[in-house]
């Protein structure tokens, strides 16, 4: 069954809403991934534990209590707000590589399809980041050029201001119409 473009955008947006920045890395939490894959969080973590060699620290890490607390306080309306109360274990966070590795551990059609979508979203995020980096570099370069020319720019604005002031002051005009002379005394 073919998905419409709108359905694809909605799916991508749901994935984007579940990508967090923790320890300066873009990650997804085990609970969100399990929900997308259609499995229980504990089952997902069991598979990860059974295949621990596939998940080094740069692929997956467990949040500290402080990180988890900060995440919950920052994201009040996310998927964290419902269903995270009273968790017994701190969530695992998976980097892009960790999410890719999950596809080799979870071998269902749903997991494979969801994994492909997630990896595509991570790729788009990386592309956007690179684009923004290029823009920031160009702005910095432009700022340096402008700072070097700031005196010239100030002079241009001063001249423009003078011209505007000259145009805005009204010139004396000759009166038009009948002139009244003082009444003649008889």
Q: What is the span of the domain harbouring residue 33?
A: 5-135
Q: Are 15 and 37 in contact (CB under 8 A)?
A: no
Q: Is residue 55 one of the residues assigned to a domain?
A: yes
Per-residue pLDDT reduced to its tens digit, 50-61: 999 999 999 999
Q: Is residue 125 one of the residues assigned to a domain?
A: yes
Q: Is residue 35 one of the residues assigned to a domain?
A: yes
Residue 4: the pLDDT is 67
Q: Do the strands 19-22 and 60-62 form a parallel or antiparallel pair, or are they unpaired?
A: unpaired
**Hunting for tokens 């002379």 — which residue is that?**
181
Residue 64's region, left for phi above 0, alpha for psi from -120 to 50, else beta, is beta
Q: Is residue 9 one of the residues assigned to a domain?
A: yes
At residue 91 the predicted structure's pLDDT band, cuts being 50, 70 and 90, is very high
Q: Is residue 174 one of the residues assigned to a domain?
A: no
Per the structure, the count of domains in the chain is 1
CA distance 162 to 181: 40
């Amino acid at each position: 069954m073919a998905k419409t473009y709108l359905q694809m955008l909605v799916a991508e947006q749901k994935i984007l809403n579940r990508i967090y920045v923790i320890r300066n890395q873009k990650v997804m939490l085990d609970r969100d991934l399990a929900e997308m894959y259609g499995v229980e969080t504990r089952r997902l973590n069991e598979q990860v534990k059974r295949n621990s060699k596939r998940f080094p620290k740069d692929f997956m890490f467990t949040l500290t209590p402080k990180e988890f607390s900060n995440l919950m306080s920052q994201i009040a309306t996310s998927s964290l707000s419902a269903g995270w109360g009273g968790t017994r274990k701190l969530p695992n966070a998976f980097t892009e590589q960790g999410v890719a590795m999950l596809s080799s551990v979870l071998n269902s059609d749903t997991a494979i399809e969801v994994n492909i979508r997630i990896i595509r979203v991570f790729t788009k995020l990386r592309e956007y980041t690179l684009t923004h980096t290029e823009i920031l570099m160009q702005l910095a370069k432009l700022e340096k050029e402008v700072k070097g020319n700031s005196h010239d720019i100030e002079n241009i604005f001063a001249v423009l201001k003078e011209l505007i002031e000259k145009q805005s002051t009204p010139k004396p005009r000759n009166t038009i119409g009948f002139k009244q002379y003082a009444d003649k005394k008889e």
